[in-house]
A and B are shown apart, each in its own frame.
Chain A
């Protein structure tokens, strides 16, 4: 009897554990379904709030909900430019920092810089935004041709700071994972220290470093609260230079979700769907990279 009872409770709890494990699947499905369902409505015939052309939505460079104009082309361009800029600035800095920590600095110095970088990743994104608003944007205003601080440049600077910790910590791990034999062989052939690092170690750690870059990209694309305070968020206009005000995809949602209704609200969810597609593409790329790292 007792044996049977314990067998029953074992089975019961196994079911409970499985249910909990399935929670992430259920939630991912729920998020996808709810956002996509509401987001595609304006593009399907017979929508209660009216229809909108998908082409105009994706390529439009004006967003004026009051006049029923919903174009997010200029936001997608801004998001892409901001992310590319952040990678161009943040990745070299992060990678070189990782090289310094892993290969050049002594244990003591590395032990000081590493926790500092870690702390950087713990700072809430809003505070980056406050810093950007009060410091970065002010500095940019002093030399911007438009005398405005809110700009693509400010967004890029803030984003590159934010992806720094991700790039540093993952690159450092990848560099450390390169077997010592590689280095010894390179030294044996008469290479200098930096030749060893840049011609042997980094090529060997390439996949891992790339994973860090992709992860940083995901973070840059999805970042909202930090950049909203320095972007300027105009109602239209393709970004033409680094001093132009920009509105990123993520910002669009936060700025207007509070009061939107009807077609306007659906359009914000459509914006969410575009963001979702971007992020999923990044995720799948990351997954591929991880598998490749596993193989080597």
Chain B
């Protein structure tokens, strides 16, 4: 083989390798989008995860809807604009499942006993109409109950779950809380390392510890968090315990990113500030920190990405519950944790991919925005030079 052909051959091998790397990404993202996109719907994003039984008050429509042709055995209730089908509830009793709701139907404005808006959804199972239970009720009899209702009708219905709203809320709370804890600590640590430290043993130890921390796998953070925050400090499995655990995990990223930007603040700026009689603290607050703001923003973005994608550290600290958290002391699963639980426990790849689409959208947005900030920063630096 001549050297020239060998040269070409080896070049071709690198092309193939690069192609494989890029294709892997496309295949993974393609798979997640293909499986996940059909799952996405407003109900998926805003609905509760668990089915919920509640009493709903529905006002009668001011004018009856125009009669509609329905599938065999279904009936369209003109007064409320909903289509019903006779089915069985979980205990095998007769019930009526909502198979269609016209737009503008008052059922979409239904309220629960506490006057919170709780719209009836397609797939809801009605087990009581007014004061009459649906057991043994025929379809025409049920339709009569609706027709003869007063201005307001109370029904008992099981509204289907399957939404990820609780996980979205849990994820947002976890992001806010974790950033709230780690950003002040991390930025202050970086300030110490760049602005105060004069080298020596302490700094070496701090740097070594930070580096070690960044190498520890998240499952070990999870173990520690469970032992220390959940049990030892007795916080219990909660968003708070999860966020505290994440804060430790994020610390190295925040410190390193902030440090990098702090180092780029020109020495002359600080000297100018000192020359005007400012103290070290004043210089930090007025000169150094404002200049480092874009870098701190990048640290926030990077951390958010890690929080959104983290699961092993949260599994035993924040838990896997799919109820909407009322406070940070509640146990609640983030989207990523839930995606894992869905696949591991139920083999529910569709829901995991639905969550996956959202996660990829978030990661992509964060990726682009951090790159945008860094580009702007570099341009500025070039202008200054």
Q: By the criterion CB–CB under 8 Å, are B217 and A221 in contact?
A: yes
**B240 interfacial contact with A, CB 8 Å:** no
Q: By the criterion CB–CB under 8 Å, are B367 and A27 in contact?
A: no
**In the assembled complex, how far is the CB of residue B321 from the closest CB belonging to chain A, in whole angstroms?**
12
**In the assembled complex, how far is the CB of residue A37 from the closest CB belonging to chain B, in whole angstroms?**
9
Question: Please, which residues of chain A bring their CB within 8 A of the CB of B31?
Answer: 131, 134-135
Q: Contact check: which of B232, B279, B308 meets A124 at CB < 8 Å?
A: B308
Chain B contact residues: helix, strand, loop or mixed: helix
Q: Which of B120-128, B322-330, B335-343, B373-381 contacts A (4 or more CB under 8 A)?
A: B335-343
**In the assembled complex, how far is the CB of residue B316 from the closest CB belonging to chain A, in whole angstroms?**
5
Q: Contact check: which of A35, A126, A280 meets B223 at CB < 8 Å?
A: A35
**B276 interfacial contact with A, CB 8 Å:** no
Question: Please, which residues of chain B bring their CB within 8 A of the CB of A20?
Answer: 184-186, 188-189, 192
**A31 interfacial contact with B, CB 8 Å:** yes
Q: By the criterion CB–CB under 8 Å, are A113 and B309 in contact?
A: no
Q: Which of A5-13, A50-58, A145-153 contacts B (4 or more CB under 8 A)?
A: A5-13
Q: By the criterion CB–CB under 8 Å, are A21 and B18 in contact?
A: no
The residue of chain B having its C-beta at the shortest distance from the C-beta of A276 within the complex is B220
Question: Please, which residues of chain A bring their CB within 8 A of the CB of B216?
Answer: 31, 222, 276, 279
Contact A131 to B28, CB < 8 A, known contacts A31-B220, A250-B217, A257-B226: yes
A16-B219 Cα distance, complex, nearest whole Å:
30
**In the assembled complex, how far is the CB of residue A41 from the closest CB belonging to chain B, in whole angstroms?**
12
**Contact indicator per residue, chain A 73-105, by CB within 8 Å of chain B (1) or not (0):** 000000000000000000011111101110011
Q: By the criterion CB–CB under 8 Å, are B14 and A104 in contact?
A: yes
Q: By the criterion CB–CB under 8 Å, are A23 and B24 in contact?
A: no
Q: Contact check: which of A229, A258, A272, A280 meets B212 at CB < 8 Å?
A: A280
Contact A120 to B25, CB < 8 A, known contacts A24-B213, A129-B343, A134-B31: yes
Q: By the criterion CB–CB under 8 Å, are B206 and A25 in contact?
A: yes
A25-B281 Cα distance, complex, nearest whole Å:
25
Q: By the criterion CB–CB under 8 Å, are B188 and A194 in contact?
A: no
**Contact indicator per residue, chain B 189-211, by CB within 8 Å of chain A (1) or not (0):** 10111011100000001101111
A-facing residues in B301-325 (Cβ within 8 Å): 305, 308-312, 315-316
Q: Contact check: which of B191, B206, B359 meets A22 at CB < 8 Å?
A: B206
Contact A283 to B212, CB < 8 A, known contacts A31-B224, A116-B22, A131-B28: yes
Q: By the criterion CB–CB under 8 Å, are B311 and A124 in contact?
A: yes
Question: Please, which residues of chain B bring their CB within 8 A of the CB of A23?
Answer: 185, 189, 251
Question: Please, which residues of chain A bring their CB within 8 A of the CB of B221?
Answer: 31
**B242 interfacial contact with A, CB 8 Å:** no
A229-B32 Cα distance, complex, nearest whole Å:
16
Contact A120 to B343, CB < 8 A, known contacts A224-B312, A275-B217, A283-B211: no
A1-B371 Cα distance, complex, nearest whole Å:
47
Question: Please, which residues of chain B bring their CB within 8 A of the CB of A192?
Answer: 3-4, 6-7
**In the assembled complex, how far is the CB of residue B92 from the closest CB belonging to chain A, in whole angstroms?**
33
Q: By the criterion CB–CB under 8 Å, are A35 and B215 in contact?
A: no
Q: By the criterion CB–CB under 8 Å, are B224 and A35 in contact?
A: yes
Question: Please, which residues of chain B bring their CB within 8 A of the CB of A92?
Answer: 17
**In the assembled complex, how far is the CB of residue A120 from the closest CB belonging to chain B, in whole angstroms?**
5
Question: Please, which residues of chain A bring their CB within 8 A of the CB of B25?
Answer: 116-117, 119-120
A286-B309 Cα distance, complex, nearest whole Å:
25
Q: Which of B61-69, B97-105, B349-357 contacts A (4 or more CB under 8 A)?
A: B349-357
Contact A99 to B14, CB < 8 A, known contacts A275-B217, A283-B211: yes
Q: By the criterion CB–CB under 8 Å, are B32 and A34 in contact?
A: no
**B141 interfacial contact with A, CB 8 Å:** no
**B344 interfacial contact with A, CB 8 Å:** yes
Contact A258 to B316, CB < 8 A, known contacts A24-B251, A96-B18, A279-B217: yes
**In the assembled complex, how far is the CB of residue A83 from the closest CB belonging to chain B, in whole angstroms?**
12
**A177 interfacial contact with B, CB 8 Å:** no
A17-B310 Cα distance, complex, nearest whole Å:
28
**B114 interfacial contact with A, CB 8 Å:** no
A129-B355 Cα distance, complex, nearest whole Å:
13
Contact A117 to B339, CB < 8 A, known contacts A30-B224, A257-B316, A275-B219: no
**In the assembled complex, how far is the CB of residue B238 from the closest CB belonging to chain A, in whole angstroms?**
16
**In the assembled complex, how far is the CB of residue B13 from the closest CB belonging to chain A, in whole angstroms?**
6
Q: By the criterion CB–CB under 8 Å, are B7 and A133 in contact?
A: no
**A47 interfacial contact with B, CB 8 Å:** no
The residue of chain B having its C-beta at the shortest distance from the C-beta of A282 within the complex is B215
Q: By the criterion CB–CB under 8 Å, are A96 and B14 in contact?
A: yes
**A184 interfacial contact with B, CB 8 Å:** no
**In the assembled complex, how far is the CB of residue B5 from the closest CB belonging to chain A, in whole angstroms?**
10
Q: By the criterion CB–CB under 8 Å, are A34 and B311 in contact?
A: no
Name 18 interchain pairs, CB-CB below 8 A, sorted by A: A6-B281, A6-B282, A9-B279, A14-B196, A17-B189, A17-B195, A23-B189, A24-B210, A25-B206, A94-B17, A101-B18, A127-B359, A130-B349, A134-B353, A164-B24, A168-B21, A222-B217, A279-B217
| Known interface pairs A35-B224, A286-B215; 20 further A-B residue pairs with C-beta atoms within 8 A, sorted by A's residue number | A13-B284, A14-B192, A24-B251, A27-B209, A28-B209, A92-B17, A94-B17, A117-B22, A124-B311, A127-B356, A127-B360, A130-B349, A134-B349, A161-B24, A222-B219, A223-B217, A229-B343, A250-B219, A250-B312, A283-B211
